[in-house]
Structure 1
Amino acid sequence: MRAEHLSAFEAVARLGTFTRAAEEQFIAQPSLSRQIRTLEAELGAALFRRGRRGAELTEAGRVLLPIARRMLADAEAARAELDELAGLRRGRVRLGAPPTVCVSLVADVLAVFHDRYPGVDLQVSEAGSLALVDQLTAGELDLAVIVTRDGAPRIDGAELLPLLQERLVVASSARKPAPAGADGAAGLTLARLADLPQVAFHRSYDLRAATDAAFAFAGLAPEVAVEGAEMDAVLRFVERGIGVAVVPAMVVLDRPGLRSIPLAEPVLERTLNLARRPGAPLSTAAAAMQQLVFERVGRMEVSGVVSLAR
């Protein structure tokens, strides 16, 4: 059985019509029909019944479908591994990160990686750290950037490689005067911040949980102007002067519409870790991604943006 015949068969079975399958396979419908007839002749059984609802699998077709999919998946995996060994001309990397990291570190890493290895497919999952660990342990991700605080505790199902430590800062609109009480380089105290209108992240964000915990520990009730926003919306609301927001320091970089104000008393920090499945070997492409992540983090430390996690 030839791979192109199995691919044509799987496409018709999945899409339900010869026309749509031919379009997906980028071949003419008569050519696809000939491939199916050749496969049927080789197997000695009809694989489809044509009806009003399109092409329906026969009993022989239903038996063949999972076998065909396994064979196609094995062939694709073999091609991917060989292509990677030939110089990362092809391959795939599945990387997960929280939204606050996707708009900063991950965006920078992906841009450089794509320039170096344009043939490698990049898949990004944007979610909270706990959800990312679940995806990692389920085999849905190759690598994930995980946020932790108070060091890098062990997480079941994940091996954590500490990347960097990053301060949280107060972002305000550069179009408006700095908030009253911002004491030069010392920044804002948590008590003063609580009196300012704030744009608060959705409660699913790790960052929201950290700031809420800091306010609760200090016995403070912050004034919230807008609540429940996602990352892009929070930054746009702050740029327009609706309120201020507590964000990671990297987020404010290269955003002229935002002003970064240090947060003092207490200083809030977070640790970014690169997580991988314990004992699971990385593909060539994923290993290249891991190396690039540490390379870009090292450059950030040299520039004084962050400090490496030890």
Structure 2
Amino acid sequence: MPEFSRELYSFVEIARERSIRKAADKLNIASSALSRQMQLLESDLGVRLFSRRTKGVELTDKGRIFLKQAEAWLEQGNRLRANLSRNASEGEKIFRVGAMECFAGALVPELAQRAREECRYDRTEVKIGGTSALTDALREGDLDLIVAFNVLHSQEVRVVSETPCRVGMVYSPALCEIREPEVRVSDCLDWPICLFDESFSLHTRLQAEILKQRKSAQILASSNSVGVIREMVARGDCVSFLSWFDVRDDVLAGRVRFVPLLDKRLVERICICVSGTRPFDRDLAFAARQARQIVDELAVME
């Protein structure tokens, strides 16, 4: 089975989604075309891979065996492409930086420019993701430096610097007006709230703080997307709790307002990290210092 087979990718996607329709949506092709691909694949292999159900599909015993092998082929293909890419770029000096979405707009481009000018990098590769994905990429040697919230110290991940970051109530002036310079969580429960979900590191602490209050909270929505939460707040549908870096651009543009929380347990840590198992050379030390300087500059609540 060729590693780059279209049917192979389609089969794995259907197996993961347990639905031809959902897999077709993700692959951006018609369900009928995807069904035809699977019919051809089953015919070629001479076995049934799926049992069709009213609410989706289920792998047969042969299908489960084939899925294990298909995933192994795809993983081998990913490694092959990575190796080919590394060989193609041999001799290039590449700065590979990872950051969370809220740092993508201002911090990463400025850091890339400073590192390029001082360290003579040929180009910069940027990966945007959550803390877990970024630290995994750092451990695996796919990134040189990351900027993320609440990274845990370990032998494999070296936290070069930490900067506290205030979490605050975010709101639209169309919904309410807060005149105090700081507020408590309890002060924010008079309005509908949109919360981030458990994929955020602050989720558990914030939920515990809300449950401690004597007021009941009206949770209007929850999301794993800061962009969705910001938009709902800007529309005046609700208030939310986000870090200054999550909403800095919207606050400066006048779309929303930010009031820091008094609750000390709800402070985030912005961590600048490098690999704990690779040399911390001059160029990487310079990039880490510049990242900290840019964080400090952006942290000023104008």
TM-score range for the pair, normalised by the shorter chain length: 0.5 to 0.7
Secondary structure of the corresponding residue to residue 256 of structure 1: coil
Q: Does 1:204 align with 2:196?
A: no
Quote the residue 2:176 is aligned against: 177
Give matches, 1:1-310, under 5 Å: 73-74=86-87, 76-77=89-90, 79-80=91-92, 91-102=93-104, 105-106=107-108, 109-110=111-112, 120-148=122-150, 154-178=153-177, 182=178, 184-185=180-181, 187-216=182-211, 218=213, 222-253=217-248, 254-266=252-264, 268-281=266-279, 286-300=284-298, 304-305=300-301
Structure 2 CA distance for aligned equivalents of residues 104 and 156 of structure 1: 30
For residue 237 of structure 1, give the secondary structure of its aligned residue in structure 2. Answer: helix
What SS class does the counterpart of residue 162 from structure 1 fall into? strand
Secondary structure (helix, strand or coil) at the match of 2:202 reads helix
Runs of 5+ consecutive residues of structure 1 not aligned to the other structure: 1-12, 17-65, 81-90
CA contact (8 A) 1:120 1:285 kept: no
**Aligned residue pairs, count:** 225
Where 1:177 maps in the other structure, the secondary structure is: coil
Q: Partners in 2 of 1:199 and 1:110 — Cα distance? A: 34
The answer (yes or no) to whether the contact 1:92–1:286 under 8 Å persists in 2 is no
What amino acid maps onto 1:95 in structure 2? Answer: V
Contact 1:172 1:244 in 2 (8 A): yes
Following superposition, the deviation at residue 204 of structure 1 comes to 0.9
What value does the CA root-mean-square deviation take over the aligned residues?
3.8
Aligned-residue offset at 1:104: 5.6
CA distance in 2, matches of 1:144, 1:289: 10
Equivalents in 1 of 2:223, 2:84: separation in Å?
46
- SS of corresponding position for 1:188: coil
Query: C-alpha distance in 2, partners of 1:238/1:198?
Result: 9
SS of residue paired to 1:191 = helix
Give the structure 1 partner of residue 67 of structure 2.
Answer: none
Q: Write out per-residue CA displacement over residues 12-64 of structure 1, whole angstroms, 9 at most, x where no aligned residue.
A: x9999xxxxxxxxxxxxxxxxxxxxxxxxxxxxxxxxxxxxxxxxxxxxxxxx
Q: Which has the larger radius of gyration?
A: 1
C-alpha distance in structure 2 between counterparts of 1:123 and 1:162, whole Å:
22
1:184 is paired with a residue whose SS is: coil
* 2:143 counterpart SS class: coil
Identical counterparts, % of pairs: 17
CA distance in 2, matches of 1:103, 1:288: 21
Q: 1:251 to 1:285 in 2, by over 3 A?
A: same
With over 3 angstroms needed to count, the CA separation of the structure-2 counterparts of 1:74 and 1:15, relative to structure 1, is same
Specify the code of the residue in structure 2 equivalent to 1:139: G
Please tell me whether the aligned partners of residues 156 and 277 of structure 2 are also in contact (alpha carbons under 8 angstroms). no
1:161, 1:183 → 2: CA distance? Answer: 37
> Letter of the aligned partner of 1:184 in structure 2?
E
Label 1:71 to 1:224 Cα distance change in 2 as closer, same or farther (>3 A): closer
Please list the CA deviations of residues 147-180 of structure 1 after superposition, one character each: whole Å capped at 9, or x if unmatched. 22xxx852342111123111111111144431xx
Q: Which amino acid aligns with 1:171?
A: V
SS in 1 for 2:154: coil
How far apart are residue 142 of structure 1 and its match?
Answer: 1.1
> TM-score normalized by structure 1?
0.59
**Alpha-carbon shift at residue 281 of structure 1 (Å):** 2.4
Q: Which runs of 5+ in 2 are unaligned?
A: 6-78
After TM superposition, the score normalised by the length of structure 2 is 0.60
Whichever residue aligns with residue 232 of structure 1, its letter is G
| TM superposition shift of 1:205 | 1.8
Instruction: Tell me, in whole angstroms, the C-alpha distance in 2 between the residues paired with 1:154 and 1:219.
Output: 36
- Report deviation, 1:192: 2.4
